[in-house]
Structure 1
Amino acid sequence: MLSEGIGLVATAVLAGTLSVILAVATIRLWDGVRARSHGGAAGRDRLDAAIQPMVFLFRQTRLIDATPPARGLLDRIGAPGDDWSRLQQWLGPRFPEAPARMGQLERLGRIEMTGAEGRGSATLRLVAEDLGDRMWRLTVTDPQAEHAGIVVDSMSLHAMEEELDLLRRALDQTPMLVWRQDEDERITWANAAYLRRAETRADGVLGWPLPRLLDAPKPVPGAGTATRRAALEDNGIVSWYDCHSHRMGDEVMMFALPADAAVRAERSLREFVQTLTKTFADLPIGLAIFDRQRNLQLFNPALIDLTGLPTGFLTARPTLFDFLDQLREQRMVPEPKDYRSWRQHMANLESAAATGHHVETWSLPGGQTYRVTGRPHPDGAVAFLFENITSEVSLTRKFRAELMLGSNVLDGIEDALVVFAHGGKMVMANQAYRALWGDAATDLPEAMTLWSGNRAAGAGHSALCAALQRADAPRASGAMAGPQGQLLGWAVSHLAGGRVMLRFRQPAAESLTAPDALLALDHAPDLTGAAKVG
């Protein structure tokens, strides 16, 4: 009986073992059939890749080999630099102690550390091994996913989730409106800025699909990006946006950048230009502004009046040399000796005006006189101002002629005349005075020294000095010795503005008084005759 029981037990155990082996074989066979039905070797490769660890093999900083998940992570990081630099940028935030610990790898041979995955609570494990011959092997695993069959993909998934979160936050923080619309112009996605503006317009109640806020430009096929400026009005307040559209497959991405500052600047510039234009239109001076390529960009009506150039010619934006050539044909420039010298003169005018302030006076064949001023402007531009100074030149010439006439009249008088200003400076002397006393003295003290003749001043000289310094008496006269010892009569007259006029005359013998005649006969160098006042 005992032997029969043992045999039954052995038979049962053997039957159970055979059943397990048969079940395992059946599962393996079924997996092989499924793998072949899904691509054979390719399916096995994908399965093997899914459970491969993330391993990097470096020789110093050069990547020697890596598992497919490790290469996929490096490709997804997308940071600049070599493979070691990109891996360090990914490991740095997760393993802050990695740089210090890696310096001990050659001494320790193997280092293991843990770190946090991004901002979440997941924990990563980093194992670094020194294989000798300056080769390092780095293995990164997720302990929580080791038995879930996603050891490799979890690392790439975390990297993609971080990048996705960064892009989502960036789009939500940007002040520009971003949205996507399909072929029927229905909005299928929008960023936070767009949603906020839409909620404001809808009083906080939004439906789906979202309302269109702006009439964005339609992208032109083959043109890439289309651009236009559009306005958005909320409660009477108008906001401007520069809208850009870009086609992405069957849908279109729209970007609306705030352009309020640009619109205000353009409006201010336009108003400023209009103000300048009105001001230039009222100026009597002709204005012509040429850009850095020397094309006419701005002119005022006075330029047409002064030069007589056709309006159509000026509005065609001629070059500077075409402008000057046309002036030459209109006989509005000085007549040159030859055309070569004319062109050289105009080239010198252009270069002088471009480098600094330059002024020329043009005497035209018609009798007119123009003042041409060239001034450099920022960014290489040049401005020319044409001013008719014919009346000013005529007045100057007339005034100069009157001065010459007065000077000739004074030189024709036989008496020696000299005028001193209020401060004693000599302002005028005629030819008779210069012939009598010379041109050495330039003010009253020097003239007094000259009149004394390096001799002891006599009574006549002292009386003259006293009369010159007295401003209360309108006239004073007397006699004194001249430079050759001759008798000279003098007369002082006080003029307006504190000026003093002094006249020297050689009196005739019959016109002398008795004391003066005695002085003339004696030729005394020390004249004692008293001055006559009044």
Structure 2
Amino acid sequence: MLALLLLSHFAPRQTPARPSAAAHPVLEPAVFLFDDHHLVDATGPARSLIAATRASGSDWDRLCAFLAPRFEGFARAMGALAEQGRIELTSVPDPERRPPLRLLAEHLGGLARITLIDPAAEGSGVLVDGLSQRALEDELALLRQAFDSLPAPVWREDAQGGICWANRAYLLLSEAFGDSEECLVWPLPRLFPHEETPHPTPRRLRLARQSGPVWFDCHSFALTDGTLHYAQPADAAVRAETALRDFVQTLTKTFAGLPIGLAIFDRERRLQLFNPALIDLTQLSPDFLSARPTLYALLDRLRESRMMPEPKDYRSWRLQMTALEKAAAAGFHTETWSLPGGQTYRVTGRPHPDGAVAFLFEDITADISLSRRFRAELELSQEVLDLMPEAVAVFRASGELALSNRAYDRLWQVEPGTTLGRVTILDATRRWQEVCGASMLWPQARAFCLRSAERLTIEDEVSLPDGTPLHCRFVPIQGGAMLAGFSPARVPVGALPQSSI
């Protein structure tokens, strides 16, 4: 044993033979052996290909997910393999101008032998670095995880419109999974209609479901060999738009029944909303209002149709309308228009959010006529009271002086302009007492005016400073008011001197 060790130690060392430069490693082909949908055997590259394919379904499903988009008619050809015995297919043209893949399928004793050939790799003898391959696989796994985590459906279509890839959200939405997520239906079902040319702007798509329609905003991006689609859920937006539309319709119906004309202008002072009452009040045509005129165009049309006060000149009118628009935009503003036709309109401007302005046109002709008639009746009643010789004053239930005539003002030496609404029954009785002196009649008058229970007329006499008797009466009036009347006392009939015959 020791001799053998010594021999090996002193024996001449042999230099290992260098591999020939022409001896390149040979790439192993990708070969699959299937018994129906069950993978019986496969080469190393074939197993790596299946492992790198989308991890769902059986080995046959994953292989179909890789081959079907690349070989046109793959599923139909594999269905006829048992009858034909041998099938050769060539992949569709590659957008990067790489040589097309070749597929050879053979039926051998009830088994299907599938060979996938990449002409670009044949004879090249190029081996992939392990670290680079791992980095590529990690990045691919990260991208798959990112796309499968998206809540929005994402899918890719080829040039013919076939769906060649989709993320998990699309698969769940399209029910592409069979009995479980391990069974993937191929080809993938189509959810949304195919478009020959991608839209530059998002399009709203409706997906029918038993639980109700589902809405998406679909974004499309053109690729070299197809189109990438991204569908963003839009149910919340559709509900908000529907609620807003219903709200606007409700407002429109409400505004349609209003007798007040409504005109809403946006921040550019262009008409955005109006109601039928505006047409009736302004006599503007619906076509003109539907064309969304500006505020000044609408005012010009009103001036031309004599539906606003006649201005002295156009320049002053424009300045007046500019002031009206600025006042309405700054806050609540009201104007009264006396039209040449005899009508009277109240125009109210109100600011709205985002710089908008709303104008209300109200016909107050009847109110103005009623106010004028009421004012005329008041003036007539006051004139009648002023012609009465008796000094009369009316006090409200609260004790405030409501009205008096000229005889009352002369008797008690008060100014009517400074007394109405400012003098109470207490102030009045004090004045009466100052002129006529103390009397039990004044406390009774105060209590009579402020009493809410049933009241009876009070009459009595007091003396003026010159000794003239003054007849006083306090009469209840409807609504809790009281009338105070003062007149010279009548001389009794028995006190008159007897005339001699």
The structure richer in helix per residue is 1
CA deviation vs aligned residue, 1:385-444 (integer Å, no higher than 9, x gap): 111110111011101110111111111111111112223222211111111112468111
The amino acid of 2:430's aligned partner reads T
Which residue is equivalent to 1:503? 485
CA deviation vs aligned residue, 1:104-145 (integer Å, no higher than 9, x gap): xxxxxxxxxxxxxxxxxxxxxxxxxxxxxxxxxxxxxxxxxx
Of 438, 463, 475, which aligns to 1:493?
475
The yes-or-no answer on 1:399 pairing with 2:354 is no
Which residue is equivalent to 1:370? 345
Which residue is equivalent to 1:414? 389
The yes-or-no answer on 1:318 pairing with 2:299 is no
State the SS of the aligned residue for 2:299.
Answer: helix
State the SS of the aligned residue for 1:402.
Answer: helix
Which residue is equivalent to 1:445? 426
Cα gap change, 1:511 to 1:268, in 2 (>3 Å): same
Q: Conserved in 2, the CA contact under 8 Å of 1:285 and 1:302?
A: yes
Which residue is equivalent to 2:172? 196
Cα gap change, 1:370 to 1:34, in 2 (>3 Å): farther
Which residue is equivalent to 2:333? 358
**Structure 2 Cα separation of the partners of residues 234 and 201 of structure 1:** 17
Q: Conserved in 2, the CA contact under 8 Å of 1:216 and 1:244?
A: no
Cα gap change, 1:326 to 1:467, in 2 (>3 Å): closer
Instruction: Tell me which moved more, 446-455 or 353-362.
Output: 446-455
**Structure 2 Cα separation of the partners of residues 325 and 381 of structure 1:** 20
The yes-or-no answer on 1:212 pairing with 2:190 is yes
1:177 to partner: Cα distance:
0.6
Aligned positions of 1:10-49 closer than 5 A: 20=15, 23-24=17-18, 27=19, 30-31=20-21
**Structure 2 Cα separation of the partners of residues 159 and 186 of structure 1:** 31
1:472 to partner: Cα distance:
5.4
Aligned positions of 1:190-339 closer than 5 A: 190-199=166-175, 206-220=184-198, 225=200, 227-235=202-210, 237-339=212-314
1:216 to partner: Cα distance:
4.6
Cα gap change, 1:468 to 1:238, in 2 (>3 Å): closer
State the SS of the aligned residue for 2:208.
Answer: strand
1:174 to partner: Cα distance:
1.2
1:157 to partner: Cα distance:
5.8
1:169 to partner: Cα distance:
1.7
Q: Conserved in 2, the CA contact under 8 Å of 1:242 and 1:258?
A: yes
**Structure 2 Cα separation of the partners of residues 464 and 246 of structure 1:** 94
Cα gap change, 1:323 to 1:201, in 2 (>3 Å): farther
**Structure 2 Cα separation of the partners of residues 181 and 273 of structure 1:** 40
**Structure 2 Cα separation of the partners of residues 236 and 462 of structure 1:** 83
Q: Normalization by structure 2: what TM-score?
A: 0.68
Which residue is equivalent to 1:169? 145
State the SS of the aligned residue for 2:213.
Answer: strand
The amino acid of 2:325's aligned partner reads E
CA deviation vs aligned residue, 1:173-227 (integer Å, no higher than 9, x gap): 111111111111111111011111222686666432211111154434xx7x453
Q: Conserved in 1, the CA contact under 8 Å of 2:425 and 2:446?
A: no
CA deviation vs aligned residue, 1:64-121 (integer Å, no higher than 9, x gap): xxxxxxxxxxxxxxxxxxxxxxxxxxxxxxxxxxxxxxxxxxxxxxxxxxxxxxxxxx
Identity %: 48
Which residue is equivalent to 1:476? 458
**Structure 2 Cα separation of the partners of residues 327 and 386 of structure 1:** 12
1:309 to partner: Cα distance:
0.8
The amino acid of 2:381's aligned partner reads G
Cα gap change, 1:248 to 1:338, in 2 (>3 Å): same
State the SS of the aligned residue for 1:372.
Answer: strand
Aligned positions of 1:3-14 closer than 5 A: none
Which residue is equivalent to 2:402? 427
1:161 to partner: Cα distance:
4.6
**Structure 2 Cα separation of the partners of residues 344 and 276 of structure 1:** 33
1:452 to partner: Cα distance:
1.6
The amino acid of 1:287's aligned partner reads L
**Structure 2 Cα separation of the partners of residues 388 and 347 of structure 1:** 23
State the SS of the aligned residue for 1:243.
Answer: strand
Q: Conserved in 1, the CA contact under 8 Å of 2:178 and 2:185?
A: no
**Structure 2 Cα separation of the partners of residues 157 and 512 of structure 1:** 139
The amino acid of 2:321's aligned partner reads M
1:458 to partner: Cα distance:
4.5
Cα gap change, 1:466 to 1:301, in 2 (>3 Å): closer
Instruction: Tell me which moved more, 345-354 or 419-428.
Output: 419-428
Matched residues, number: 378
State the SS of the aligned residue for 2:378.
Answer: helix
Which residue is equivalent to 2:43? none
1:460 to partner: Cα distance:
6.5
The amino acid of 1:486's aligned partner reads T
1:234 to partner: Cα distance:
2.9
State the SS of the aligned residue for 1:497.
Answer: coil
Q: Conserved in 1, the CA contact under 8 Å of 2:202 and 2:217?
A: yes
**Structure 2 Cα separation of the partners of residues 192 and 297 of structure 1:** 45
Listed as ranges, the gaps of 5+ residues in structure 1 are 1-8, 36-148, 518-534
Cα gap change, 1:409 to 1:315, in 2 (>3 Å): same
The yes-or-no answer on 1:187 pairing with 2:163 is yes
Which residue is equivalent to 1:138? none
